[in-house]
Structure 1
Amino acid sequence: MALSHQHWWEMLLLLLLTNAFVLLPWAGAGRIIDGQKVKPHSRPYMAHLKIQRGSQTSYCGGFLIRPDAVLSAAHCVDKEGVRVTVTLGAHNIRLWEWSQQKIRVGHWVVHPKYSRVGLKNDIVLLKLEKNARINKNVQIIPIPDEKESVREGALCNVSGWGWTSMKGHKSNVLMEVELKVQKEEICQQRSSNFQHQSMLCVGDECSKKATSKGDSGGPLVCNKKAHGIVSHGYGDCLFPEVFTRISHFEPWIREQLRRFALQDIPGSPSSG
């Protein structure tokens, strides 16, 4: 039986919508909403992650903490058969820029207690196949010590190439938004999965500024240190948002960096 013109369009629309959902990033928060463009290359620690799994491609943020190591969110890479390429020194991620360094990720370490349920311990350390060239456009950002906390009420910045509106418009250039560290109770009231030791409750009370899809894994920068990692939000609400608390994981991060260094030593037990 021949399809009517209207039915044909309805089927085509359904097919397009189905494919669109397949191509969406897998989890987490991530759009810079109501943010502003940053001065090109003024956030030289930022990393853009291209994550490929079969024919699917998704994107996340990350940040350089050593010439060979990038921190990001575990939920960005928690599927099997994933390949990751990091771009450093980028401003407009859609263009070739002389400042850009594209480096494959050799391997990564997801925190052993990471859980997709509630996105607990949402942190991953990625080992680059080769060291990044440190220059004015590509630099590392320090992380806090284990006992160093960021206070409630602190104003921090988050950068990313993620969605710039609820409608899903993605930014080609690096955007940034200022967000405030909130009382833990605000997030605890929203979810029993909130863990104050390992998570930060962050957001704009007016619900106008936020992160979203594509920004996951990016840093929450307070006083020139990366104190948090963009992790997840609650449904379609822009406020509050949950960030991984980096200071809680500092001993684990240092241990993984030590192992990364051992792997670079020929003949070491960890090499190969």
Structure 2
Amino acid sequence: MALSTLQRNLPVVLAINLLTFLSGKIIGGREAVPHSHPYIAYLWINTTEKTKKKCGGFLVHEDFVLTAAHCWRRSITVILGARDIDEQEMTQQVIPIRKAIPHPYFKRKSFNDIMLLQLEKKAKLNAEVSLLKLPSGHSQVTPGMVCSLAGWGCIDQNISTSKLHEVQLEIQKDKECLSHFKRPYDSTTKICVGNPKEKKYGLQGDSGSPLVSKNVAQGIVSYGKMEGTPPNIYTRISSFLCWIKTTMKLFKLQGQD
């Protein structure tokens, strides 16, 4: 980015980083190998707000993307197969959504932060665009396990990037999040992620992106402290398998695919 452009955008960048859910960070990570996360989705969100909102997500069916419910807006376009979101790459598939379906009991910043996006058309699966497996009902991540996260957030304070980055994050004991957050923490629907001794985390504009272990999605970036210090809270996907499968089946039966 040219200096003049950075200077013009600096007030916006600073404002974005003050709001928990309106920006994003992959801190302590590295640029991802091109298309090494073929399931990842970038959510292009049109909003009337002064600050630009962006989120991540991931493809779980040819015409469904899973993300965080707090990413909901009336106008969302999904971009699949991207490495650099500022470039018009031949691998990209740009698909508007037909329907946004947040969990019916979603409560902002606290409970059931999960949402399905039904695409206007099916994605074309290939080497750059593929599905990410959902966990089994008994699948669990445990403290000490290391999982991966990818997204297009900032790579340092006020330093943005258009290229996909990734980071390895350690699962924490529930007590770490119980002591770190004032709002309720329910271990049956949430995962505590990120070693507080390491400056490694994903947050905000990485909201909705998947926490992946052994090629299986285990969590969804939900929320964290305003300053971004780990640990952070992720939605536990295994707790919502019935809702995910039932919802996708329902919309297909209604003839909306």
TM-score under structure 2 normalisation? 0.89
Q: Name 1:8's counterpart in structure 2.
A: none
| C-alpha distance in 2 between matches for 1:158 and 1:200 | 14
Equivalent position to 1:259, from 231, 250, 254 = 250
User: What SS does structure 2 have at the residue aligned with 1:188?
Assistant: helix
Q: Which runs of 5+ in 2 are unaligned?
A: 1-6
In 2: Cα distance, 1:99 partner to 1:18 partner: 30
Letter in 1 for 2:25: R
- Cα gap change, 1:195 to 1:55, in 2 (>3 Å): closer
Aligned-partner Cα distance in 1 for 2:190–2:20: 20
CA distance in 1, matches of 2:123, 2:142: 32
CA-CA distance at 1:34 after TM superposition: 1.3
Q: Which runs of 5+ in 1 are unaligned?
A: 1-12, 265-270
**How far did residue 20 of structure 1 move?**
6.1
2:68 maps to 1:73: yes
**SS of equivalent to 1:258:** helix
Offset of residue 141 of structure 1: 0.4
The aligned counterpart of 2:176 is 186
Offset at 1:42? 1.1
**Aligned pair partner of 1:48 in 42, 49, 71:** 42
Residue correspondence of structure 1 range 105-254 to structure 2 within 5 A? 105-116=97-108, 118-166=109-157, 168-191=158-181, 192-254=183-245
CA deviation after TM superposition for structure 1 residue 171, in Å: 1.5
Report SS of the residue matched to 1:75: helix
| 1:28–1:233 contact (8 Å) kept in structure 2 | no
Percent identical residues: 38
Q: CA 1:188–1:26 in 2, change beyond 3 Å: closer, same or farther? A: closer
Aligned counterparts of 1:177 and 1:102: Cα–Cα separation in 2: 25
Instruction: Tell which structure's C-alpha radius of gyration is larger.
Output: 1
Cα-to-partner distance string for 1:60-79 (whole Å, 9 max, x where unaligned): 100000000000011111x5
Query: Is residue 31 from structure 1 mapped to residue 25 from structure 2 by the alignment?
Result: yes
Once the two structures are TM-superposed, the CA of residue 153 in structure 1 deviates from its matched residue by 1.1
- Give the Cα separation in 2 of the matches to 1:29 and 1:190: 21
Q: 1:63 aligns with which of 58, 61, 72?
A: 58
Give the RMSD, CA atoms, in angstroms.
2.3
CA deviation map 1:213-233 (0-9, x unaligned):
321100000111000001111
Q: TM-score, normalised by structure 1?
A: 0.84
Residue 83 in structure 1 maps to residue 75 in structure 2: yes
Query: Could you tell me how far 1:194 is from its partner in structure 2?
Result: 1.0
Instruction: Work out the number of aligned pairs and report it.
Output: 247
Q: How big is the shift at 1:202?
A: 0.4
* CA 222–107 in structure 1, closer or farther in 2 if over 3 Å, else same: same
Q: 1:205–1:239: 8 Å Cα contact kept in structure 2?
A: yes
State the distance in 1 between where 2:96 and 2:89 align. Answer: 18
Contact 2:45/2:54 (<8 A) preserved = yes
In the alignment, residue 111 of structure 1 is paired with which amino acid?
H
- Kindly provide the CA deviation profile for residues 85-141 of structure 1, in whole angstroms up to 9, marking residues without a partner as x: 00000001110100000000111111111111x431110000000000000100000
